[in-house]
C-alpha cells in the first residue's frame, strides 16, 4: 500500500487507518501511541477521523464523519485547521472526496498547461474506478440529503448533528441563543481582560448549562451535545472545563461513549503540531 499515491500530483497523503494497513504501527518510535489522537487536528470533533492529509500551511485534511461510533461514516469532510472549525462535505466516499479536490485544483490552475494533462489523467482514472466499484462522485449524494432531513442543528462546524428524536419531539431542544449570539457570549468570555471580568461574563453560559441539565432530565440529550460541540469549535481553553461537563455526559446519554473517550484524550492534548502518533523509528 503506497500512502503517497496522491502526493506527487495532488499533495495529498493517506493517513489514519491507512497507516495501520501499511503497518506503520509496527515501526513506530512511540511505545504507547494514542490512536484517538492520531492525525486528530485542533478542530476535529470526536465524530471526525482524518484519512487524508494535505500539504500547505492551512493544515488541510479530509476525514470520515460518523454520527455515532458504531455506524458507518455518513460523509467525508474537509477542514483547514489554521482557518477554523468549518467542515465542508466532500461526498460519501474517498473517490468522491479526492475527485472534488482534484476538480478544485484544476480550476485554480486556470489555463496553464504544465501538469494539466496529469490531473486530467488522474481524474479519468478516479472516475473509471469509482464507476466500476459503484461509488458516486457527487458532492452531496442522496443518502447525504436524507441525513440533512434528520440534522437537528448545524452547529458552528456546519456538518450538523443527528440525534434520535421521537414522534413527540423528544430528543432535542434548541439553545436559547442563535449561533451568532452564542459566539458573542464566547467572545466576551475568551477575550475578557481579567479573570474577574471573565467570571462576570460567564453568566449567560451558566444559564445555558442549567437549561441543558433540565433538557437532560427530560431526555432532550441533543441540547447538551450542541452546546458542547459549539464550545469545542470556538476553540478557547477557557471552555474546556465546561466542555468536560457537557460532552462526555451527552455522549453517554446518547450511547456514544467512545466519542466521549476521544474528546477527553483530545482536550488533554489539543494542538496544531505533532499529530502523527506513529512516527517511524
Nearest to 49 by CA among 72, 27, 26, 32: 72
Work out whether the CA dihedral 73, 74, 76, 82 comes out positive or negative: negative
- Average pLDDT for residues 171-190, to the nearest whole number? 97
Tell me what the pLDDT averaged over the chain comes to.
93
Tell me the CB-side half-sphere exposure of residue 24, using CA atoms within 13 A.
Answer: 21
The catalytic site residues sit at 218
More reliable by pLDDT, 105 or 280: 105
CA distance 30 to 10: 29
- Beta-bridge partner residues of 89: 77
How does pLDDT run across 28-50, given as a tens digit for each residue? 777 777 889 999 999 999 999 99
Give me the residue label for grid cell 442522496. Answer: 142
**Ranges of each domain in the chain:** 7-133, 152-268
Sheet holding 88-89, edge to edge: 13-14, 48-53, 60-65, 75-80, 88-89
- Average pLDDT for residues 266-274, to the nearest whole number? 87
* pLDDT at 125 > cutoff 60: yes
* pTM strictly above 0.85: yes
Amino acid at each position: 500500500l503506497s500512502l503517497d499515491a496522491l502526493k506527487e500530483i495532488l499533495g495529498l497523503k493517506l493517513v489514519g487507518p491507512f497507516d495501520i494497513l501499511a503497518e506503520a504501527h509496527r515501526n513506530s518510535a512511540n511505545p504507547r501511541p494514542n490512536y484517538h489522537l492520531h492525525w486528530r487536528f485542533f478542530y476535529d470533533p470526536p465524530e471526525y477521523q482524518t484519512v487524508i492529509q494535505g500539504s500547505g500551511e492551512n493544515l488541510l485534511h479530509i476525514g470520515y464523519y460518523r454520527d455515532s461510533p458504531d455506524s458507518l461514516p455518513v460523509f467525508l469532510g474537509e477542514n483547514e485547521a489554521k482557518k477554523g472549525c468549518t467542515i465542508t462535505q466532500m461526498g460519501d466516499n474517498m473517490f468522491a472526496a479526492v475527485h472534488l479536490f482534484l476538480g478544485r485544483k484544476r480550476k485554480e490552475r486556470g489555463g496553464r498547461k504544465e501538469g494539466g494533462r496529469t490531473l486530467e489523467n488522474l481524474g479519468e482514472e478516479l472516475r473509471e474506478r469509482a464507476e466500476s466499484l459503484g461509488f458516486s462522485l457527487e458532492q452531496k449524494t442522496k443518502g447525504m440529503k436524507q441525513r440533512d432531513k434528520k440534522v437537528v442543528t448545524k452547529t458552528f462546524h456546519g456538518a450538523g448533528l443527528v440525534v434520535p428524536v421521537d414522534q413527540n419531539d423528544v430528543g432535542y431542544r434548541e439553545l436559547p441563543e442563535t449561533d451568532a449570539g452564542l459566539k458573542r457570549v464566547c467572545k466576551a468570555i475568551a477575550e475578557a481582560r481579567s479573570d474577574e471580568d471573565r467570571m462576570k461574563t460567564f453568566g449567560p453560559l451558566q444559564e445555558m448549562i442549567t437549561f441543558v441539565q433540565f433538557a437532560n432530565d427530560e431526555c432532550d440529550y441533543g441540547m447538551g451535545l450542541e452546546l458542547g460541540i459549539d464550545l469545542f469549535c470556538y476553540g478557547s481553553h477557557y471552555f474546556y472545563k465546561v466542555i468536560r461537563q457537557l460532552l462526555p455526559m451527552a455522549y453517554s446519554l446518547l450511547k456514544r461513549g467512545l466519542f466521549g473517550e476521544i474528546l477527553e484524550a483530545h482536550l488533554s492534548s489539543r494542538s496544531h503540531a505533532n499529530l502523527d502518533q506513529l512516527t517511524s523509528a
